[in-house]
Structure 1
Amino acid sequence: MAKQKGFSLIELMVAITISLLLMAGVVQMFLSSKTVFTTQQGLSRLQETGRLAVEFMARDVRQAGFFGPAYATSWNMISTLNNKNQFGNDYSPETAMRVFNGDSLPAGLVLNPAPNSDTQVVAVYTASDMSVPVVQQNDSGNVYVELTTPAGQDCPSGICEGDILVAADFEKMWIFQVTGVSENGGMVTLAHGAGSDPGNQITEWGGNPDYPTQDVNPGAEVFRLKTSVFYIADGPNNIPTLYQKVGREPSFPLLVGVENIFYNVGVDTDADRVANNYVAPEAVANWENAVSLQLEALVMTPGDNAASDKQTYTFAGEEVTADDNRVRKVFRTTVAIRNKLL
């Protein structure tokens, strides 16, 4: 009768030990690969977020101060609004752009969620990309434009009651709030009565031959005015996020992971439409002289394990050491306000 044979206890223990060593190696390779993948994914997202943050802000800043065919100056811009130098948010139309401290916003600029402490807020003022042609000379209470049906718009010609508008030709522009919108035979009548928020201080203008500067004739265009605000607030999962607010619409999270933004303003002090120097926003004496903007966006990876050590970086002219293991990168650019360079 043949004897039964098998592994001895020592052989079994050796086999288990070798298996554990092999398994540990496999797990280590898996963890290393996962760490590399997570790091690369975080860096890719950081790059994408930073590039988009700079691009979105630069695009709106570049278009600041566009009010149609007329170049905006203090002598050819007439505002009929209750506060002549304000509409929607606190600003003078000639400035095109303002930068505020997030801890001390003007009364007319309400942001929800509120900006994070010690951050800056940039507000850009411009006409929308779409315009509607004037089809008939205005009278004392109305401006008449062509009836169009833009895609996705519920209001005639994309203009709704309460909108702030600019009617402009190559010589002048009128800023007013539309208080009534009605259709009639392929034409839209835009009334500019008293209204509210902010309402019109001058409710009757146009149609008087003694005051041709009040005429809005065929050939002029009507634009909706847009205020675009960028700022930093805590977003999903309390991660710092770049928010945007357009007009009177609620703020919305634009890009998660933008930790901070910083601006220096290019100021033209000799009227040659070129920045003579760049100063902090609080040092700008006259915002009409702002012709460009230097911006920095500090962006961080979403995960707290992207770096093996705490990173040191330079932001807003200061060297900072992070208090976590996220990777951070500063994206910088300088943007000229095109309409200030004409």
Structure 2
Amino acid sequence: MMKRIRQQGFGLVEVMVAITLGLLLTAAVLQLFVSNNTTYRTTNSVGVVQDNARFAQDLLSKELRMTGYRGCLSKQNVAITSVLESATTLTYDFSAGLRGYNNLTATLPTELSNHLTGDPTPLANTDLLLIQGPGNIPVPIVANNNAAQLFAAPSAMTLLKDGDIALITDCSKARIFQITGLSAAGPDAAGPDKVNITHVSNNNGAHAYVPGNNTSDWDPNKKSDKFGTNAELMSYQTSTYYLATNSVTGQPALYRKLNGGLATPLLDYVFDLQILYGVDTNSDRQTDSYQTANNVSNWGNVLTLKLQLLLGSEETGIVPKKQSFTFNGATFTATDTRWYMPTTITAVLRNRLN
């Protein structure tokens, strides 16, 4: 008699149950992955935007606080004289210390259009700010100047360079000019180690400095031209901040332009910039009201600034629905699912306070 062999294995029902359980497990793993990936993208995007906001706060606050610094003349109402060519253009007019433009349109004011020649076009309905101040720590003057040159401390060789727009100031006057040469000199009868700084005129076309000086000769016998050991020297610059589309990302960015150089993107994904100016209206050196740039009649009366920036994430799909919140006194409603964050920078122009 043949022995019956009993077959063993899984039945159809068992196989279907196993497949179902496997699919459920796979779905759970995929869901966990998607959830973790979404959390990572959100956390990373929020972190980057917050870092960008801190960077903007630190940079702009520092520059704004130094606006109008003129050494010991900072808080005195003494006009700066300038020997620069083009001293009345927006780029090289250092008389006001700062200027602003409100809600720009496609048609820019002539002086601003000239200032931004070759630069990206500002975004419509955003503001623009020009601030002027030192580009480095002051360098002491170590000897009285002569007609052709100034005599500065050795640190000038590392803090200054040919072509710099510079401000020299003592406690009675200040002058803007362009450096056309620096050379180290050893100690001599005139004093200690020093750097000879020239300010050659461009009138003869011999130099390529822009904008150049309109005179080479300073008469040290005149008080207005004499700068001695009570003076200090520093590079001086016009910094222009505005929003424009970055051609690389195709998205708005905060641009910075130094003097007449080309504007470069400083911070990407900045979607709006609005500025209010704290104005002293009764000459008590206290802020009495905040105004938009088009309402400021005297830039010398601006004591504080309030910059409002709207920053956003690089990626879309960060928030489940489009955001809506108050920005610049109105409701901002996003057109996409980026994560947006408003930030406000309030700065006191301390060089204008008594």
- Name which of 213, 220, 233 aligns with 1:207: 220
Which residue does 2:122 correspond to in 1?
115
8 A Cα contact 2:136 2:159, kept in partner: no
Query: Does residue 32 of structure 1 match 2:35?
Result: yes
Q: Within 2, Cα distance between the matches of 1:108 and 1:22? A: 64
Distance change in 2, residues 1:290/1:106 (3 Å): farther
Please state if 1:138 is matched with 2:121.
no
Structure of higher CA gyration radius: 2
1:254 positional shift:
2.4
What letter is aligned with 1:246?
L
Deviation per residue, 1:279-322 (Å, 9 max, x gap): 11111111111111111110112221111111112222221211
TM-score normalised by L of structure 1:
0.88
Matches within 5 A, 1:1-342: 1=3, 2-71=5-74, 75-86=78-89, 89-90=90-91, 92-100=93-101, 102-103=104-105, 104=108, 105-110=112-117, 112-148=119-155, 156-185=157-186, 186-195=193-202, 196-208=209-221, 211-235=222-246, 236-342=248-354
Alignment deviations for residues 250-272 of structure 1 (CA, whole Å, 9 cap, x no partner) = 43332222222110111112211
Alpha-carbon separation, structure 2, partners of 1:137 and 1:275: 40
Runs of 4+ in 1 over 6 A off after TM superposition: none
Q: Is the 8 A contact 1:90 1:106 kept in 2?
A: no
- Number of residue pairs matched by the alignment: 332
Asked if the contact 2:280–2:303 (Cα under 8 Å) also holds between the matched residues in 1, the reply is: yes
| TM-aligned CA deviation for residue 158 of structure 1 | 3.2
- 1:200 Cα offset (Å): 2.1
> Which amino acid is 1:242 matched to?
L
Secondary structure of the 1:167 match is strand
What percentage of residue pairs aligned between the two structures are identical?
30
- Output the CA distance in 1 between the equivalents of 2:60 and 2:126: 15
Please give the alpha-carbon distance, in whole angstroms, between the structure 1 residues aligned to 2:254 and 2:181.
35
Q: How many Å separate the matches in 2 of 1:220 and 1:139?
A: 14
Unpaired runs of at least 5, structure 1: 150-155
Q: What SS does the corresponding residue of 1:130 show, helix, strand or coil?
A: coil
- Offset of 1:78 from its aligned partner? 1.5
Q: Secondary structure at the match of 1:95?
A: coil
**C-alpha deviation, 1:221, in angstroms:** 0.8
Deviations 1:218-266 (A, max 9, x none): 1211111122222222334223222223345543332222222110111
**1:120 maps to amino acid:** D
- Judge conservation of contact 1:77–1:172 (CA < 8 Å) in 2: yes
What is the SS of the residue equivalent to 1:93? coil
Distance between the aligned counterparts of 2:169 and 2:350, measured in 1?
A: 18
CA distance in 2, matches of 1:129, 1:266: 27
Contact 1:313 1:329 (C-alpha < 8 Å) held by counterparts:
no
Name the TM-score, length of structure 2 as normaliser: 0.86
Aligned Cα root-mean-square deviation (Å): 2.3
1:149-205 superposed Cα distances (whole Å, 9 cap, x missing partner) = 7xxxxxx34332221111111221111112333333233222223225322234322
